[in-house]
Amino acid sequence: MRKKLFCILPNFECCKFLISQLKNIGVSEKDICVVNNEDSSLEDLHKVTQLEKTELAHGIKLGISVGCLAGLLGGILAVVFPPSGVIPDDAEFLLIITTLTGGFFGGLVSALIAADRPNHILEDCHNAIVNGKTLLVLNIPIRHFDDKIALIKAYQPEVKLVTS
């Protein structure tokens, strides 16, 4: 399992230095993304993806969870109180179908809604980015999370860290 670490750095040069140090200690390039103001070039660094810019991942997880629960409850109601004249032969199959259908539609609807909502952490860091600071987004395994935070603070003491 991985966790996101957001580092607000004073400028792009500090960001490049920190990225080189992180690569030296084994952080993969695919786990590093950078957000900078519109004026600055990111050179060969990765930009944040649409999945990281929006609340899409969170929305899909929440939608599937709520949809599955609603589908399961609907299936239970259909089994316990069947419509007049209908006798469900295979209650387990009905519960599985209603749960999966609810999860699918819940995930779909939530994905459509969450795709337009900006990531709340990026939104909080927006003023710093506009003022010329650079945001470094790291995707770090949870077991190494505290070690990486200590190393980042050692290399860049002026960094501001935000976790998701």
Q: Are residues 133 and 89 in the same domain?
A: no
Q: Is residue 89 part of a domain?
A: yes
- Alpha helix (H) residue ranges in 25-90: 50-53, 56-80
- Please give the Cα distance from 13 to 76 (Å, whole number): 59
Last residue of a domain, one of 99, 114, 129: 114
Share of the chain above pLDDT 70, in %: 94
Q: Are residues 33 and 64 in the same domain?
A: no
Q: Which pLDDT tens digit goes with each residue over 23-79? A: 888 888 888 888 877 555 666 677 777 777 788 888 999 999 999 999 999 999 988
How high is the pLDDT of residue 97?
A: 94
Q: What angle do CA 108, 112, 115 make, to 5 degrees?
A: 125
β-bridge partners, 136: 7, 34
Domain CATH number, residue 145: 3.30.70.120
Residue listed under structure tokens 């966790």:
3
Q: Is residue 51 part of a domain?
A: no
Q: Are residues 138 and 104 in the same domain?
A: no
Domain range enclosing 73:
56-114
How high is the pLDDT of residue 90?
A: 85
Residue 122 confidence (pLDDT) above 90: no
Q: Mean pLDDT over residues 98-113, rounded? A: 95
Task: Report the chain's mean pLDDT, rounded to a whole number.
Answer: 84
- Please give the Cα distance from 87 to 4 (Å, whole number): 50
How high is the pLDDT of residue 108?
A: 95
Q: Are residues 85 and 104 in the same domain?
A: yes
Lowest mean pLDDT among 77-81, 91-95, 121-125: 121-125
Q: Are residues 107 and 131 in the same domain?
A: no
Q: Is residue 33 part of a domain?
A: yes
DSSP secondary structure string for all residues of 1-22: -EEEEEEEESSHHHHHHHHHHH
If one counts the domains in the chain, the total is: 2
- The more confident residue out of 105 and 36 is 105
Is the pTM higher than 0.75? The answer reads: no
